[in-house]
Amino acid sequence: MKALVTGASGFLGRHVVRALLARGIEVRAMVRPATRLEGLDWSPCVEVFRADLRTSRDLARALEGVDVLLHLAAVVSGGEDAQFAGTVAGTERLLEAMAASACQRLVLCSTFSVYNYSAISGTLREDSPLHQTPDLYDRDGYTISKWWQERITRRFAEKYGWDLIVLRPGFIWGRDQGYLAALGQQFGRHHLVIGPLTRIPMTHVENCADVFALAAADGRACGQTLNVVDGPGERIWTYLSDYMRGSGNRGWRLPVPYWLAIMMVRLGFATVFRAATKVPSILIPRRFESRLKPLHFENRKLRETLGWTPPLNYQECLVRTYGPAAPTAVGRLYRATLVEAE
């Protein structure tokens, strides 16, 4: 089996490439023309294909001999127009090239951002309500572009009869990306912790990559939409403590009940910020809910469909992320092992 991975040099993509290789799958890694490959630590057998989804004319060549496309590419920075053009228009061009190829299997990286948190209570599952045509009034550019990306991909898959697998990861964390938007609001070295006992829908990048590689190879994934989290998630207060100790970013934490915070945000938005042209995301009620609303999260469908369990537990993930600084018994064991080795 041969796989084409878009966004292959990104935070998740580089791990997906390695996970595919570990399963014996050949990999063609699509990266932008100017991407530097130093530090990616890829096997020499990885075939690198340089292209820009927005402008390259040879996307069809990228799909030659490919059995499965793993589409991870998305624009996560810049203005809303740039995000939409890079993510949505780029996806359309890629899917048009796929329609002209023999490839019939597609794994799409979606996101929890497509869910309408305001309409969900209790447990967030794959059949929970999605946004209905989101706009910039209450959603950010990333959410809008990812919503349209998933919508367009489903249309193409239905039209051409592709085997589509949609994976929706929660917050992806790992080395060099330990801080999560779900942790509240940071002021310098200090943190306003909103709903400190709320659990975070999180998946370590290596565990998440393992799901993508499994979905690419396992026929049971075809036609499925699966949420990707490692489990019910750590509590905000606990993970923030681990993050601060592991990263060395010390400071104080001020807990604030979620109900009080959302009440103040709604009041402020209704009376002050609604008419403003530029408002911080955390002060817009729907964006606030999408980051911090206390819900339950599970990976039940993922486990039942593919029999998946996370290769790494939380303690091991901390060590992979923070190394010897990991604030756990595993981290202490890791440090002791280094001392013995010396």
pLDDT tens digits, 216-237: 999 999 999 999 999 999 999 9
| Tokens linked to 82 | 């740039």
Q: Distance between CA atoms of 4 and 16, rounded to whole angstroms? A: 11
Residue the block writes with tokens 């890791």: 334
Region 61-79 average pLDDT: 92
What are the backbone angles phi and psi of residue 221, rounded to the nearest 5°?
-80, -20
Of 294, 317, 56, the closest CA to residue 197 belongs to 294
- Contact between 300 and 289 under an 8 Å Cβ cutoff? The reply is no
Of 234, 197, 218, 187, the closest CA to residue 307 belongs to 218
- Contact between 151 and 94 under an 8 Å Cβ cutoff? The reply is no
- Contact between 74 and 7 under an 8 Å Cβ cutoff? The reply is yes
Q: Is the pLDDT of residue 157 over 90?
A: yes
Q: What does the mean pLDDT of the chain come to?
A: 91
Region 15-39 average pLDDT: 93
pLDDT tens digits, 72-129: 999 887 777 788 888 999 999 999 999 999 999 999 999 999 999 999 999 999 999 9
- What's the pLDDT band for 132 if we cut at 50, 70, 90? confident
Q: Which CATH number fits domain 2-178+202-230+295-311: 3.40.718.10, 3.30.360.10, 3.40.50.720, 3.40.190.290?
A: 3.40.50.720
Region 8-29 average pLDDT: 96
Return all residues near 88 (Cβ < 8 A) that are at least 6 apart.
Answer: 145, 148, 149, 152
pLDDT tens digits, 245-304: 999 888 999 999 999 999 999 998 888 776 666 778 888 899 999 999 999 999 999 999
Return all residues near 107 (Cβ < 8 A) that are at least 6 apart.
Answer: 68, 69, 70, 71, 165, 167, 212, 215, 216, 221
